[in-house]
Amino acid sequence: MSVIAIFGPTASGKSAVALELADLVGGEIVSSDAMQLYRGLPILTNQPSAADQERVPHHLVGVWEPSHEGSVAEYADMAHAAVDDIIRRGRVPIICGGSGLYLRAALADMPLPPQAPTGVRTTAERLYDERGPAGAHATLAAVDAPAAAAVHPNDRRRVVRALELAESGHSLAASESRLWSADTRHPTLVAGLAIRPAETARRIAARTAAMFAAGVVDEVRAARAAHTFSTTAERIHGLQDVSALLAGEIDPDEAIRRLETRTRRYAKRQRTWMRRLPDVRIVDATRDPRAVAGDIAGWA
């Protein structure tokens, strides 16, 4: 295989497995984590440490300022360039991250619909907030029934995105049918890390506590003071919880509780993504990362 991709829910050990795998196959890691693209928040976005980056080359970590309005299309161009360069140098690209859309964008040539103008997004968001999930979903069903059938009314982000696309003459349903194609730019092995939800929850709690102990509150305070955040950067996982703490709206215990809850929900969505990835090979991720990496290397 020219390319290896590693996917799994948050706290399944993707980064540790990728490091071990890189040692085994002569690889370099290309991040497919949408939030790790932003610099200035290494604790919050769980970026690889300096020691890990010295051990194995990492690509597309901390490349955007928080003010940058990023997009999947821009990321795809950068990821394709990184993957092609790694292959040219006789190394193995290891795509690793928890953002399913970005993983597919790194692996395939996906005809992505254009970004909607800011005004269209604002209008769609206002419609959702004013009419509520059921009302917004009914509006979507009237203008794009296939997209409405593909998205749950309570999924605000996707309902808003579907309304954006419908306004610009595109469809979320068509975009998603391309998303789950098995086509890739290079021969690719996709490994999915399987871990029980209860163990995931335990690891998420431990990781969240470690983030706060490591100074994530001071990190966010400094980043807020130094930068104006783009709308895409504002979606960094956990940013709203720590920001609410800094604003005095909640106490530290509530910030931790909210972040843990949000992360568990995200892990559930990631497990759904993993089941839908074309040709994914599932590996037991409850073992030592070196053993997991050994299994993946044996398949490649």
Q: Which domains does the chain have, with CATH numbers?
A: 3-108+181-299 (3.40.50.300), 118-179 (1.10.20.140)
Indicate the pLDDT class of residue 9, thresholds 50, 70 and 90: very high
Indicate the pLDDT class of residue 160, thresholds 50, 70 and 90: confident
Return the pLDDT at 4: 98
Instruction: Locate 80 and state its tokens.
Output: 């394709």
Return the pLDDT at 156: 86
Rounded mean pLDDT, 88-112: 90
Summarised one tens digit per residue, pLDDT across range 227-263 is 999 988 998 999 999 999 999 999 999 999 999 999 9
Give the lowest-confidence range in 55-59, 152-156, 201-205: 152-156
Return the pLDDT at 11: 93
Return the pLDDT at 190: 95
Return the pLDDT at 120: 80
119 compared with 291, residue with greater pLDDT: 291
Return the pLDDT at 212: 97
Give the lowest-confidence range in 48-52, 152-156, 258-262: 152-156
Rounded CA gap, 258 and 39, in Å? 23
Question: In the chain, what percentage of residues exceed pLDDT 90?
Answer: 69
Sequence-ordered list of residues with C-beta below 8 angstroms from that of 161, at least 6 positions apart, any chain: 172
Confidence check: pLDDT of 86 > 80: yes
> DSSP letters of 182-239?
---SS-EEEEEEE--HHHHHHHHHHHHHHHHHTTHHHHHHHHHHH-PPPTTGGGSTTH
